[in-house]
Amino acid sequence: MESVRCTTCSTRVLVEKYSEAHTSIQWLGDVDSACPQFAESHPRDGRARVPTCHNLQESIDGLTLSGQIGMSLRSYPIPGRLE
């Protein structure tokens, strides 16, 4: 996973890209206190109305397009081999 900062709010997350459509994001703290977009979207019941932070996604997409984040290669176990 690679460290990425949102270009809007500077929140740092860990990111791994498996394909253009599949991005894994690891938040490093409480998402509500880290991301203003998530904090604004939470009603009293505590569930986010925004499924993703669009500013962070744009930051990740920009880094991917510029080649600063590469695609991760998945490896699958081969039956009968431990490697």
Map tokens 């397009």 to a residue: 65
Let me know if residue 72 belongs to a domain: no
Does 70 map to a domain?
A: no
Residue 8 lies in a domain: yes
What six digits make up the tokens of 42? 């939470």
Per-residue pLDDT of 44-80, as tens digits, reads: 666 656 567 889 999 999 999 999 999 888 766 777 7
Tell whether 61 is covered by a domain.
yes
Residues 31 and 40 sit within 8 Å (Cβ to Cβ): no
Closest Cα partner for 58 from 37, 76, 40, 81?
37
Residue 30's pLDDT is 81
Domain range enclosing 58: 2-65
User: Does the pLDDT of residue 3 top 80, yes or no?
Assistant: yes
Count: domains in the chain: 1
Q: How many C-beta neighbours within 10 Å does residue 58 have?
A: 13
